[in-house]
Amino acid sequence: MSTNTTAAGRRVPPRLPTGALALGLGLAVLLAGCKQDAPPAQAPATPSTPAAGEPAQAPQAPAEAVSAEVAAMDAEQLREAASKAYQESRLYAPGGDNAMEYYLALRDKQPADAGVSSALVDLLPMTVIATEQSRDRGDFAEAKRLLALIEKTDSSYPAIERLKTTIASAEAEAARRAAQEQLTAEQEAQRQRELERQRQEQQRLAQEQAARELAAQQAAQEEAARQEAARQEAARQEAARREAERLEAERRQAEAARRAAPAATELRAISTPAPRYPPDALRSGTSGEVQVEFTVGVDGTVTAARVVQATPPRVFDREALNAVRRWRFEPVPAPVTSRRTINFAPSQ
């Protein structure tokens, strides 16, 4: 799941592994589900054909995607409820108490929250599977509720029209069979109880599997991030080590050159321009001094310079180094390393 964080920590859960879902959840996985101790949703009544001479029943109103109770919650409540439902594998069921409804209501209140939109998009494929399975087992009320979640999430989602058509066809076929079979009230009640039991069991197993896969995906991403951070730290330390070795080699080379130079070698300055006085120090009347060690090459130019000591620290260092690097001396037979103290005073 993306560096991504949990909703409880005010972060939206990481994106769901869509490719892995198609492979690992093929048979009954990723259904909208509720925990076994959650109150069962009311079993949908099997459509029946009106008796001869009786008026046809009016079609049921479309299912509401988000219940009124969920829609009335504020953004903070929705974020906490979504996090809890997500952690308890109530990804899109039961109705009125699932992560998808809470995220939809939260998106209505905070449309610019990209993390919420991403989580909803990741939940769509498994909700489509749950809708198809509800349709196939004749649970049309649940299928329509899940379809309403899909439509509210993305009204242009490619599977919507197909699901509408197949649900309507399956419902019509169920009504025809019901009229032919003339099920008794007791048989129908038993069928609905079994249907509800199967639905809850399928949803429980599917959502627990989905939750396990999400946790595994998150753990893999966190481990990858940890390894990348360790790699970058190792690279940084290696670069620092190489730079330290380079500077030490230069220092040793300069020291060796200084020792190898004839004792009588002296530096004769050609040009030693004074350093620029830092404006802040000048305004505050700050004075000080900087001791600089520098190496003069055989052509008389300064090839290396560093601050040995500065009072006060880091106030005049930069200007002192800039000035020393511009100094010029008469050519010498071998590089010479020397030290000079540069004074800074406001009256200077």
The tens digit of pLDDT for each residue in 131-155 reads 999 999 999 999 999 999 999 999 9
Q: How confident is the model at residue 41 (pLDDT cuts 50, 70, 90)?
A: very low
Which has the closest alpha carbon to 117: 128, 98, 129, 104?
104
Q: Using one digit for the tens of pLDDT, what is the confidence trace for 86-121? A: 999 999 999 999 999 999 999 999 999 999 999 999
Angle CA 225–229–233, to nearest 5: 170
pLDDT, position 74: 96
Handedness of CA 299, 303, 306, 310 (dihedral sign): positive
Classify each residue of 220-230 as buried b or exposed e, where b means 16 or more C-beta atoms within 10 Å of its C-beta: ebeeeeeeeee
Q: What percent of the chain has pLDDT over 70?
A: 79
Confidence band, pLDDT 50/70/90 cuts, at residue 188? confident
User: Is there a contact between 77 and 64 (Cβ–Cβ < 8 Å)?
Assistant: no
| pLDDT over 90 at 250, yes or no | no
Neighbours of 216 (CB within 10 A): 13
Cα–Cα distance for residue pair 214/222, rounded to 1 Å: 12
Mean pLDDT within 246-270: 76
Distance separating alpha carbons of residues 315 and 289, to the nearest angstrom: 9
Delineate the domains of the chain, giving CATH numbers in brackets: 18-231 (no CATH), 269-344 (3.30.2420.10)
Residue 36 scores a pLDDT above 50: no
The pLDDT of residue 213 is above 50: yes
pTM: 0.41
Contact 96, 70 (CB under 8 A): yes
